[in-house]
Amino acid sequence: MTVKELYARMTARIPESLRESWDNDGIMCAPDLSADVHRVLLSLDVTEEVVDYAIENDFDLIISHHPLIFRPLAAFSEDNPCGRKLLKLSSNGITVFSFHTRADKVDGGVNDLLADTLDLHNVEKFGEGDLGRIGELDEEITLDDFAMLAREALGAPAVLVADGFNPVHKVAVVGGDGKDFIADALAAGADTFLSGRLSYNTMAEAGELGINLIEAGHYYTECRITEFFLGLVSRFVPDAFIEVADSNLLRMIN
């Protein structure tokens, strides 16, 4: 299967119509759309380490969640981090697809996977564009207990908790930066909202808003999307070699 054909198949499953207007995703770099796909590297981010790994191991294609190109490039040179990666990729014939907000919204994507990781039931969509997910725990538990369960389930080194003075039963989730969805989570009846990144001021208002807030790390709330990509690529290109790269560059220092 060619690069162009695979992108068309993946876009049929992850439609461009789901993409937010401010977002930039899709084909980020394609030295040859007619090239065959044999080796595919999946990653949350297209870091320079991921690019170098792809080059060293003869990958044809990188598929990421976060866009390689998000803002217009001021320069296309080795002095610009994004430009440097594009030069490396182009000169080595490596294509990059990125599926961002449309992979957040799509059925089975980022936020369905996040709800599944937290073992939520009766899951429904909420928020602008139906991006978020809201569901229920089997039974009501304390905020501290849920925070510990979430940390372990997500594999996060730590979570940040702001107490809204509620027991936890109905939980809303948005992977990544979800601070703009707190009002929607409240309107949907959530007693608890978990996201990857929330602002200090937002967290400080948890008690006044009456909703528990949990910040669990941008990477840890979205990294399972590579499983979704893996399922698609293995179905569309069954003879391809596929590998998942760890692009998390952040670490905790205790």
Instruction: Give me the tens of pLDDT residue by residue for the chain, a chain 254 residues long.
Output: 999 999 999 999 999 999 999 999 999 999 999 999 999 999 999 999 999 999 999 999 999 999 999 887 777 778 788 889 999 999 999 999 999 999 999 999 999 999 999 999 999 999 999 999 999 999 999 999 999 999 999 999 999 999 999 999 999 999 999 999 999 999 999 999 999 999 999 999 999 999 999 999 999 999 999 999 999 999 999 999 999 999 887 766 65
Are the C-beta atoms of 185 and 193 separated by less than 8 Å? Answer: yes
Secondary structure of the chain: what % helix, strand, coil (to 5)? 40, 25, 35
Are the C-beta atoms of 198 and 161 separated by less than 8 Å? Answer: no
**Cβ partners under 8 Å of residue 234, min gap 6:** 240, 242
Task: Please tell me the distance from the alpha carbon of residue 243 to that of residue 123, in angstroms, as a whole number.
Answer: 30
pTM over 0.85: yes
**Start-to-end Cα distance in the chain:** 47
Q: Which strands make up the sheet holding 39-43, listed edge to edge?
A: 26-29, 95-98, 61-64, 39-43, 241-244
